[in-house]
Structure 1
Amino acid sequence: MRGVTHRYRTHATAPAVLSTVNLAIPAGSSVAVMGPSGSGKTTLLHLMAGVLRPSEGSITWRGQDLAAMSDRRRTRLRRADFGFVFQSGQLLPELPAEENAALPLMLGGTSRTEAVAHVRPILQRLGLAGMTRRRPGELSGGQAQRVAIARALAGSPGVIFTDEPTGALDSSTGAAVMHQLVAAAAAHGATLVVVTHDAQVAGVCSRTITLHDGRIIADHAAGGAR
Structure 2
Amino acid sequence: MEKITSPHPGSVATQGARPMPSLVAEHLVKSYSPGRQDVPPALAGVDLAVWPGSTVAIMGPSGSGKTTLLHLLAGVVRPTSGTVSWQGRDLSSLGDAARSRLRRSDFGFVFQSGQLLPELPAVENVALPLMLAGTSRREAESRAAGWFGPLGLQGLERRRPGELSGGQAQRVAIARALVGSPGVVFADEPTGALDQHTGHEVMDLLTRACAAQGAALVVVTHDAAVAGWCQRVVRLRDGRVESDQARDTEVHGAEVTR
Shorter-chain TM band: over 0.9
Partner letter of residue 79 of structure 2? P
Q: Which residue in the other structure is 1:17 paired with?
A: 42
Cα distance between partner residues in 2 of 1:19 and 1:126: 39
Q: Which residue in the other structure is 2:32 paired with?
A: 8
Cα distance between partner residues in 1 of 2:163 and 2:41: 44
Q: CA RMSD in A?
A: 1.1
Is structure 2 residue 54 aligned with structure 1 residue 29?
Answer: yes
Is structure 2 residue 99 aligned with structure 1 residue 74?
Answer: yes
Cα distance between partner residues in 1 of 2:199 and 2:151: 14
Structure 2 gap segments, 5+ residues each: 1-24, 250-258
Partner letter of residue 120 of structure 2? L
SS for the counterpart of 1:161 is strand
Cα distance between partner residues in 2 of 1:4 and 1:33: 15
* Mean CA deviation greater in 87-96 or 3-12: 3-12
Q: Which residue in the other structure is 2:143 paired with?
A: 118
Q: Percent identity?
A: 62
Q: Which residue in the other structure is 1:132 paired with?
A: 157
Q: Which residue in the other structure is 2:252 paired with?
A: none
Out of 215, 221, 224, the position equivalent to 1:199 is 224
Cα distance between partner residues in 2 of 1:111 and 1:104: 11
SS for the counterpart of 2:113 is coil
Q: Which residue in the other structure is 1:39 paired with?
A: 64
Q: Which residue in the other structure is 2:114 paired with?
A: 89
Cα distance between partner residues in 2 of 1:160 and 1:38: 23
SS for the counterpart of 1:77 is helix
- The number of aligned residues is 224
Cα deviation for residue 113 of structure 1 reads 1.1
Out of 76, 94, 97, the position equivalent to 1:51 is 76
Tell me the alpha carbon deviations over residues 88-121 of structure 1, each in whole angstroms, 9 at most, x when there is no partner.
Answer: 0011111111111111011112111110100112
SS for the counterpart of 1:168 is coil
Cα distance between partner residues in 2 of 1:69 and 1:109: 20
Q: Which residue in the other structure is 1:210 paired with?
A: 235
Cα deviation for residue 130 of structure 1 reads 1.1
Tell me the alpha carbon deviations over residues 173-203 of structure 1, each in whole angstroms, 9 at most, x when there is no partner.
Answer: 0011011000001100111000001100000
Cα deviation for residue 15 of structure 1 reads 2.0
Cα distance between partner residues in 2 of 1:62 and 1:120: 29
Instruction: Write out the 4+ residue segments of structure 1 that deviate beyond 4 Å after TM superposition.
Output: none
Is structure 2 residue 196 aligned with structure 1 residue 171?
Answer: yes
Q: Which residue in the other structure is 2:85 paired with?
A: 60
User: What TM-score results when the alignment is normalised by the length of structure 1?
Assistant: 0.96
Cα distance between partner residues in 1 of 2:96 and 2:156: 37
Cα distance between partner residues in 2 of 1:9 and 1:76: 28
Out of 184, 201, 205, the position equivalent to 2:209 is 184
Cα distance between partner residues in 2 of 1:107 and 1:69: 19
Is residue 101–residue 133 contact of structure 2 (8 Å, CA) maintained in 1?
Answer: no
Structure 1 gap segments, 5+ residues each: none
Partner letter of residue 44 of structure 1? L
Cα deviation for residue 205 of structure 1 reads 0.7
Partner letter of residue 219 of structure 1? D
Between Structure 1 and Structure 2, the one with more helix by share is 1
Is residue 123–residue 144 contact of structure 2 (8 Å, CA) maintained in 1?
Answer: yes
After TM superposition, the structure 1 = structure 2 runs for residues 137-176 of structure 1, keeping only pairs within 5 Å, are 137-176=162-201
